[in-house]
Each structure stands twice: as C-alpha cells, then as structure tokens.
C-alpha cells in the first residue's frame, strides 16, 4: 500500500485583501474560490479523486495524497502562489507522511506552517500590495454596521482531535453550521460578508445585527450542547462577537477592520463575550441592556422628554471602562435619582404622571442596580444608553446614522 501524505495549505493576508477590494463580499467570494476551487482543480488536473480533499474552509484546506503526488502538488501550488501574490495574498503549505498518531502529525504540520508563515515570501506579497494601492471606497450607507463572530479557541479545538477523521468531522460540522444559519437570514436584514468554519462577518442595520447576534449565539449554544457532549474542555464551545459602527466618512471596509479589532479585544477580555456599543458584556446581559434601552426610548417617544437626558446619563460613565467589572460608583442612589429627575425637564412637571415616575424610577434602578447603600453604574447601562441614543435621535442625525 502506497504511503499517504497530508498536504495542508493556508492563505495569508486575507484581511488586507478583503479591505483592499471594491467590496468586502467580492473579496470574500474570491477567497472562497481560492480556498475551495483551487484544491479541486489540482485534484482534477492530476487525475485524483475529489474525495482526497479532506477539509476546505475560508483561508485553508487539506489534501490527503499519495506520496508520489507531492512534487506535483508543490509545483501546482507554487504556480498558484505566484498568481495570488499580485493580489496581496500569500500561499504557504506543509506536508508530512501519515506516520504516527494524528496529534504527532498535526504537530509536524503546525510547526512547518508556523515556520513558513514567518519566512519571507517568494515572490513578496507585501511588495505587490504596496505597489497597487486601492481606490478610495464609498462611505458605508447610513445606519449600517458590521458584525463579526468567532468561535473561541477554535484552532485548539481542532488540534485536540484524536484522528484525521475527527479533525475533518469537526471542521465540516462548524462550517456547515455557520453556512446554514447565515443562509436563512433575509437579504433585507443583513448581507453575508463571509462565513467559515470558525466564524463569520455580516453587514446590516445595527439594530437587526444585534438581534441576529443574540439569536445566532442562542442557536450555537444548542448546537454545541448537542454535538460536543463527549468533547472535554471549553474549546470550541463558546462564541464571541463584536459590532462596529461607522464614524463619519467610513467605508464598509474600515468598519469591518474596526469590528476585527473590537473582536480581538473582546476575546482577550473574556470568553463568550459580545463587544456592543463601547463595552464587552456577557451574553446574558444583552437582554438587560435591551430592557434599559426600551425604558430610555419610552421617555423620549411617549413622554416627549428631550434626548439630552441620555447624554447626561452617559456622562456619568468614565471613558474606557470595559468588561464585566467595568462599573463605577456614583455616590448614594438617591442622588442619582434626584439628578435624573432634574435632567428630565422638571419645568413641565411630568412628575404628576404616575406612569412617567415609574418609568423614570425603573430606568434609574436598572442603571445603578438595587443596592440601597451605594450606587454602581452597571456596564449594561452604558450599552443601553448608547443604543437608546441611536434609536431616539431625530431621523437623519449623525447619532441615528452611526
């Protein structure tokens, strides 16, 4: 029986390639073709079965080849690397014999890929990228945002597989999950930038994206609970996300890049977190923020309060606080209630309305908690107020657009 080899290929420079193109979706489609069609073309041109493609997801794929096909693979992907280099992409690969346990094989592949990733490319994709600057992109449409999600410790989850079969099964399972869930999204709610085995990116109205984020995470939790019952450890079982809003004049690519930065920050701060409107919060806190947002919006829409009070409340929060412990003291609770009452236009004496007083009291209680001795500004309050400010702002204003 002929010796088999594992031949893994990775595409580097994907984020830079995406943001340099005419649109993110067009760039993602080209990356998908390079990740899925390129290995199938190699197999077809060499008379090999397409079944030898073990895994293929955005940015990487693995082939299981007879040893005598190694030279052909190296020649084919060297030529492919030269074709991709002018686009700012770099193709690297690693190959090893099917000898030893899968963990040993995986270790050899990873070490080889890591060494090649740090080595200078030939030809240099950095030089080509610098020589072909992208044309200025159009600003993102008003009210649009970008949502990015990533499975926590996905690489570690894959590397924990005991066999190549388990590795392929895990990779395809997550890829199918994201592709299936994102395919169900109505086009008017969100546009899929990309989906892969480890995550996804969407663009859409920021309110719709928040709802999609919450629902996707809920279904993901059910998915891993059902499919990873026997898998030890937390790797691959949680999902972190980040939502980025545009600043004045931003293109979709710039918002996408910012979402990536925020996602990295969220994953550094906590596993299974959501960076939303300036804070990284736990998923269970999103409904809390939504409830506070509804109270604030009601004061504006129903009781005709000025939106200025939202800005006043936001000013209570020190800048730069993030995370689950991102709270600050605000003296005694009664002082906060009094300040809120003053802020909400007492000259019109809306306090005569019991419903108004209850809404105002509920809002204060949700923001500072129920501690009767010492108020603490809850991080969900900051998220909720930012959320409410965008919903309550007059149509066409910068707050509503961004």
What is the pLDDT at residue 338? 65
For the chain, how many structural domains are there in total? Answer: 3
Are 263 and 299 in the same domain?
no
- 173: containing domain: 144-276
Name the pLDDT band for 122 (thresholds 50, 70, 90).
Answer: very low
Question: End of a domain among 76, 104, 131?
Answer: 131
Are 272 and 296 in the same domain?
no
The pLDDT of residue 348 is above 80: no
What percentage of the chain carries pLDDT values higher than 90? 47
Q: What is the mean pLDDT of the chain?
A: 83
Name the pLDDT band for 120 (thresholds 50, 70, 90).
Answer: low
Query: What residues form DSSP beta bridges with 64?
Result: 6
pLDDT tens, position by position, 283-319: 999 999 999 999 889 888 888 888 888 888 887 776 5
Are 305 and 345 in the same domain?
yes
**In a domain? residue 136:** no
The pLDDT of residue 129 is above 60: no
Are 90 and 166 in the same domain?
no
CA distance 77 to 345: 69
CA distance 103 to 170: 15
Full 3-state SS string of 255-270: HHHHHHHHHHHHHHHC
Are 127 and 171 in the same domain?
no
Q: Which two tokens stand for residue 370?
A: 């129920």
The pLDDT of residue 394 is above 80: no
CA distance 257 to 146: 9
Q: Which two tokens stand for residue 385?
A: 């107020």
**In a domain? residue 19:** yes
Are 114 and 27 in the same domain?
yes
Are 258 and 302 in the same domain?
no
Question: What are the Cα distances from residue 96, in Å, to 3, 118, 338, 359?
Answer: 11, 19, 70, 66
CA nearest 299: which of 368, 358, 233?
358
pLDDT tens, position by position, 45-55: 999 999 999 88
> What average pLDDT does range 211-223 have in this prediction?
96
pLDDT tens, position by position, 169-196: 989 999 999 999 999 998 888 999 999 8
What is the pLDDT at residue 119? 63
What is the pLDDT at residue 125? 33
What is the pLDDT at residue 5? 94
Burial 188-208 (b: 16+ CB within 10 A, else e): eebbbbbbbbbbbbbbbbbeb
CA distance 165 to 54: 9
């Amino acid at each position: 029986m002929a010796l088999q080899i594992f031949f893994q290929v990775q595409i580097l420079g994907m984020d830079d390639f995406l943001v340099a193109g005419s649109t993110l979706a067009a760039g993602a489609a080209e990356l998908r073709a390079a990740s899925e069609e390129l290995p199938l073309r190699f197999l077809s041109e060499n008379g090999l079965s397409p079944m030898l493609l073990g895994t293929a997801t955005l940015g990487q794929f693995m082939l299981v080849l007879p040893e005598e096909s190694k030279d052909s693979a190296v020649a084919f992907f060297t030529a492919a690397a030269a074709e991709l280099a002018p686009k700012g992409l770099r193709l690297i690969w690693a190959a090893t014999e099917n000898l030893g346990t899968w963990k040993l094989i995986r270790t050899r592949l990873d070490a080889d890929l890591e060494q090649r990733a740090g080595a200078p490319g030939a030809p240099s994709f950095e030089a080509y990228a610098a020589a072909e600057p992208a044309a200025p992109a159009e600003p993102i449409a008003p009210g649009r945002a970008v949502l990015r999600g990533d499975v926590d410790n996905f690489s570690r989850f894959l590397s924990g597989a005991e066999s190549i079969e388990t590795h392929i099964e895990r990779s395809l399972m997550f890829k199918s999950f994201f592709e299936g869930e994102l395919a169900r999204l109505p086009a008017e709610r969100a546009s899929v930038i990309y989906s892969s085995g480890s995550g996804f990116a969407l663009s859409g109205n920021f309110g719709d994206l928040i709802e999609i984020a919450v629902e996707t995470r809920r279904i993901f939790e059910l998915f891993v609970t059902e499919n990873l019952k026997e898998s030890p450890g937390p790797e691959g079982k949680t999902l972190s996300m980040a939502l980025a809003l545009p600043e004045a004049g931003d293109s979709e690519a710039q918002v996408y890049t910012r979402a990536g930065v925020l996602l990295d920050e969220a994953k550094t701060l906590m596993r299974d977190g959501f960076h939303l409107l300036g804070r990284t919060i736990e998923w269970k806190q999103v409904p809390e923020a939504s409830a506070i947002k509804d109270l604030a919006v009601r004061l504006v829409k129903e009781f005709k309060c000025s939106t200025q009070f939202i800005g006043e409340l936001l000013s209570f929060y020190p800048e730069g606080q993030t995370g689950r412990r991102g709270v600050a003291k605000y003296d005694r609770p009664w002082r906060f209630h009094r300040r809120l009452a003053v802020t909400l236009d007492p000259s019109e004496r809306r306090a005569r309305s019991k419903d108004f007083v209850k809404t105002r009291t509920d809002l204060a209680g949700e923001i500072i908690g129920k501690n009767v001795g010492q108020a603490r500004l809850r991080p969900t309050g900051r998220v909720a107020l930012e959320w409410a400010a965008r919903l309550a702002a007059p149509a066409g204003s910068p707050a509503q657009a961004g």
